[in-house]
Structure 1
Amino acid sequence: MNFKEALDKIEIFERVGRIADDMGLETYVVGGYVRDLILKRPSKDIDFVCVGSGILLAEAVAKSFDHHVPLNVFKNFGTANIRLEDWEIEFVGARKESYQRESRKPIVEDGTLKEDQERRDFTINAMAISVNKNTYGELIDPFDGVKDLKRKLIRTPTNPLITFSDDPLRMMRAIRFAAQLQFDIEPDTFDGIMHEAPRLQIVSAERIIDELNKIILTDKPSYGFKLLFVSNLLHQFFPEMVELQGVDSVGDKSHKDNFYHTLQVLDNICQHTDNLWLRWAAIMHDIAKPATKRFNEKVGWTFHGHEDKGARMVPGIFRRLKLPMDERMKYVQKLVRLHLRPIALVSDKVTDSAIRRLLFDAGDDVNDLMTLCRADITSKNNNKVKRFLSNFDKVEQKIVEVEEKDQVRNFQPPVSGEEIMSIFELNPSKIVGELKEEIKEAILEGQIQNNKSEALDLLYKLAARKGLKKK
C-alpha cells in the first residue's frame, strides 16, 4: 500500500508534518487510524505521537489555521486534542510505561517511538507512519502488524501475561476487536487472557461496560460473548449470564442450553435492529431461568414466572454493571416482563381483549416487543419456526386492526382521578383508584368504547352501586 498517497488525500497530515519539522519533532500517525487505513475502514479519529511534547505540537497546529480551532489540553496526561470539522485529532508525546500490581494506572515517562509502540495493546494497533518530510509515508511496523491484519489475528506485541496484568482492560479490548473485525485471537494471547482473567476485578465497571456495549453492537455479538465465556472474563462481571449455561437432564427429559439460546436470540435480533437497548432485552429475556428452573414428572423442566422474576432482576444488574438507571432500563425491564405475552396470543381464537391488554401494557414499544419475540424462535425445526413466525404475522395484523378501532395504545382512562374526586367531592382515597381501574378494565374488555361519554356513564353507574352521589 502506498501510504504517502493515502496521507496526501487529507491535508492535516502534511500540515502536522510541516509544523513538526519546524519544531524539530519526530512525529507519526499511529494506532487505530493506521490499522483502519490498511483495512480500508472509515475512521475519523487520528492520533499523532511525537518524540517530545505533544501538547506544544497541538498548540502550534491549532494556531496554524486562519480560523479558530478548538483546543483541549490535558496536562496531567500529557495529551491535547483538536476538533476539525468531523475529525477528532489527538496529540501525545512518545512515552514508556510501568505498572504497579494493584493498579492499572501507569507510571509514565518520556520515551522513544519504539518504547511507545511496545506499550501498545496489540500488534495491529502498534503501527506508525511518519509525517516528517524526509520520511513522509514510511511505515514503522516492528511487530508485524500488517502480517497480523492479513492473517486476521489479534496478538500482543510483547508478553501477553505482562500486557494483560499491566492493564487488564486490554483483555476486554482484545475480544472487542476480535468481535468487531471478526478476527481470531492468537493462542498465546488467548491463554494470557484466561490466565489473567481475575485481574479484571481491578477495572472499573464503567470501563468494562463500555467495551461490552461495543461487543453487543457488532454484527454478530455471539462471537464476542463466546470468547468472554471461554476466557472466564464473563464470570468476573456478569455471573447471571454465565449461570444460563448448561443442560440438566432427568431420565430422557432435558432442557435447552439457555446461554447458547440467548446468544442465538441476540444474533437474530441484530439482523433487524441497531438499538443497543433492544439487544440488551434479548440478552436479559431469559436471565431468570436458572432461578425459576423446576422439574415436573409429567411435563419435564419448567421455568414458570421467569419473565416476571427476570424483570425484577433487571434494575439490580443494570445498577451493578453501571448501565443507565433511567427510561432505557425501564424499557428493557418492560420487554423482559412481556416477552412471553405475544407467544400466548399465537392462536386463531385470540380475543380483541387480549390484544387491547398487550397494546396497553407495551405502549409504543409493542413493535420492538414483537421483534424480540420473533428473534426468540430458535428451534432447529424449520417448519416449527415458519409456523410460529406465520402466527406472529396474524398477531401483528390483529394488533393493527384493534389499534385502529380502539386506540388503546398508551391510553389513559378518559376520566381522571381528579375529575372523580371533583364530581363526588372525595379526597384522595382507595375508592378513587378502584373507580379508575374499573373504567380501564371495561375499556380493555370491550364493554365500553374508549371515550369520555361512555366512561362517564359507567362511572355514574359504578358510583351509585358504591353509594356515592354527585355534588
Structure 2
Amino acid sequence: MVSLPHGFPAHAWLPDVVVDLGEVFAAAGHDLSLVGGPVRDLFLGRTSPDLDFTTDATPDQILAAVDGWADAHWDIGRAFGTIGLRKGNQTLEVTTYRAEAYDPSSRKPEVRFGDNLEDDLVRRDFTVNAMALRLPSFELVDPHGGVRDLHAKLLRTPATPQESFSDDPLRMMRAARFAAQLGLDVAPEVQQAMTAMAPRLEIVSAERVREELVKLICGAHPRAGVDLMVETGLADIVLPEIPALKLTADEHHRHKDVYQHSLQVLEQACDLETDDEGPVPRPDFVLRFAALMHDVGKPKTRRFEPGGAVSFRHHDVVGAKLTRKRMQALKFDKDTIKAVTHLVELHMRFYGYGEQEWTDSAVRRYVTDAGDQLQRLHRLTRSDVTTRNKRKAARLDHAYDDLEARIAELAEKEELAKIRPHLDGEQIMAVLGIAPGPAVGKAYKFLLEHRMEHGPVAEEQAVQLLKDWAAEQGIS
C-alpha cells in the first residue's frame, strides 16, 4: 500500500496500482489525478469501492499509455472520454478532462473535453467531490474547499448551485443522496436552488433517478435524504405519494402524522436489519422501501366516521397498487416490485393477533402468504409500531414474539416453508383416473385448503378425502 503525505489521515490508504498508474502516465508525458469519491473517502477514513482518475490525455492517448500495462480495457464510455481498465483484481476508470452540460430539453449530456485539472474540477457536482490527488506525487488539489466542507459536514457546489444543477439536474437527487449516505447538511443556497429548480429533474431519465433513489434509501441516514427530497419538492416528482402523507391525519391521533410515522418506521426497519450472515443483511432496499411506502394508500382511503374518528380501510391493498405503479414508472425490475408491493399489501395482516389467538390454520396462511418475504415481513410489522404508549407497544411486541414462536414450532413439525397439498397432480389423476384438466386443479386446491386448515395427514387418509370430495363434485 502507498503511504500518503503529511496532512492526510494516518489510517487512510490506497492500493499500489494507483501510484503505478500515475508513473505509467508520467512516463507517457501525461498528467493523471485520482479524483472525486476516492479522494473524499480518504478524508472520511473509508475505503472507496471505485478508483476514478482524470487526465489531459484523449481516449486514444489513454489506450496508448496503458498498452502492455493493463490486463484488459474497454471503451464503452469513449464518447464521454472514459476508458475502463483492469489491473489484477482492480477495476479503474480514466476520463479525459471535460466539461459537461445539459440542453434544457434533453436528457443526455453534451460532452466537451477540457485541457486542465482546475476546469475539470469546477464542473463537478459538489466541493467534497471536487478534490484531486496529482499522481504519482500525491499533491492535493482542492480549489473549492472540499476538505473544509467535509469537516463542516456541509454540501456546497464548486460553481453556483444554479449552474451545477442546470448542467445536470440529477445532482439535486445526489444532494439528497449524500445527505443520506454521509450525514452532510445541505448549504442554504444549495437547498434554495434545489427548491427552485426541482421541476428540471423531469428531463432526467427514470433509470438515472432510480439509481440515485436506491443509493439514498440504502444510505446510513435515509430519513434525512427523504426529508430533504420532500422539503425541496424533489419528492413531488420522484415519489409524490410520500409528501401526500403530510395531508393525512392518523386514525389513532398519534403525536406524529402519517408522514413522520412513515419516516420513523423506515428508521426502525433499518435498525432491524442483520449482518451479512443474517436473513436480512443491511442495507436491504426492499425492506426499507416497503417501510417508507407502507402507508401510501391512506390518503385515498381516508374516511371520517361518526363521532369524529378517521378510518383507512383497505389502505394496504390500495397502497400496494400505488407502490407498484410508482416503481414501474421508475423502471424497477419485476422481482423488486413484486417483493416490495407484497410487503406493503401484507403489513396489516398481523394486527388483531393480540386480541384473539390465531388457529394453526391462520398461522400457516400467514407464513404461506408471506412466502420468501417472511423475514422481511417480521421486521416491517415490528417497525410499524411507533406509539408512545409503552403498554400498548409492549403488548404488540409480546404478541409478535408469540406469533414468531408459533411459526417456529409449526415449522419444526410441518416444514411450513414447503407446504404442499397432501397429494400432487400425478397422484390426484391416478387416484381419480382422470386426465389433465380443470378437475385436477380443483382437486389440488381442495387438498391444499385441507392441508392449511388441518395440517398434514397420512397418504391413505388423503386418498379417502380426495375420493369423498370427488363424489360430492360428481367427478368420476
* TM exceeding 0.5: yes
Aligned to 1:129: 133
1:205-216 pair list within 5 angstroms: 205-216=206-217
Alignment size in residue pairs: 461
Tell which deviates more after alignment, 221-230 or 393-402. 393-402
Aligned to 2:442: 434
Q: CA deviation at 1:91?
A: 1.1
Query: What is the aligned counterpart of 1:296 among 286, 301, 305?
Result: 305
CA contact (8 A) 1:62 1:71 kept: no
1:373-412 pair list within 5 angstroms: 373-412=381-420
Query: What is the aligned counterpart of 2:33 among 28, 33, 49?
Result: 28
**SS of equivalent to 2:30:** coil
Matched, 1:45 2:54: no
Query: What is the Cα-based RMSD across aligned positions, in Å?
Result: 2.6
Flag structure 1 segments of 5+ consecutive residues without an equivalent: none
Q: CA deviation at 1:10?
A: 3.3
Aligned to 2:24: 19
Matched, 1:261 2:257: no
State the distance in 2 between where 1:33 and 1:452 align: 63
Change (3 A) 1:263 1:410: farther
Q: CA deviation at 1:245?
A: 1.7
Tell which deviates more after alignment, 85-94 or 210-219. 85-94
User: Which amino acid counterpart does residue 233 of structure 1 have in structure 2?
Assistant: L
1:259-287 alpha-carbon deviations (Å, 9 max, x no partner): 22111111111112222112222122222
State the distance in 2 between where 1:359 and 1:5 align: 51
Matched, 1:280 2:289: yes
Return the TM-score normalized by structure 1.
0.90
Matched, 1:306 2:337: no
Query: What is the aligned counterpart of 1:112 among 110, 116, 135?
Result: 116
Matched, 1:465 2:466: no
Tell which deviates more after alignment, 207-216 or 387-396. 387-396
1:301-380 pair list within 5 angstroms: 301-326=310-335, 328-347=336-355, 349-380=357-388
Query: What is the aligned counterpart of 1:84 among 84, 87, 90?
Result: 87
Change (3 A) 1:436 1:18: closer
User: Which amino acid counterpart does residue 82 of structure 2 have in structure 1?
Assistant: T
State the distance in 1 between where 2:118 and 2:468 align: 85
State the distance in 2 between where 1:14 and 1:208 align: 34
CA contact (8 A) 1:118 1:157 kept: yes
CA contact (8 A) 2:214 2:285 kept: yes
**SS of equivalent to 1:90:** strand
Q: CA deviation at 1:347?
A: 4.1
CA contact (8 A) 2:9 2:42 kept: no
Q: CA deviation at 1:208?
A: 0.4
User: Which amino acid counterpart does residue 277 of structure 1 have in structure 2?
Assistant: V
Aligned to 1:415: 423
Q: CA deviation at 1:122?
A: 0.6
Aligned to 2:181: 180
State the distance in 2 between where 1:123 and 1:344 align: 52
CA contact (8 A) 2:181 2:219 kept: yes
Return the TM-score normalized by structure 2.
0.89
Change (3 A) 1:436 1:8: closer
State the distance in 2 between where 1:6 and 1:381 align: 46
Change (3 A) 1:456 1:42: same
Change (3 A) 1:125 1:255: closer
**SS of equivalent to 1:63:** coil
State the distance in 2 between where 1:230 and 1:414 align: 55
Q: CA deviation at 1:15?
A: 2.1
Tell which deviates more after alignment, 16-25 or 223-232. 16-25
Change (3 A) 1:54 1:5: farther
State the distance in 2 between where 1:408 and 1:249 align: 36
Change (3 A) 1:436 1:120: same
Flag structure 2 segments of 5+ consecutive residues without an equivalent: 1-5, 274-282
1:199-221 alpha-carbon deviations (Å, 9 max, x no partner): 00000010001000001101231
1:167-225 alpha-carbon deviations (Å, 9 max, x no partner): 10010111111211101001101111111100000000100010000011012311100
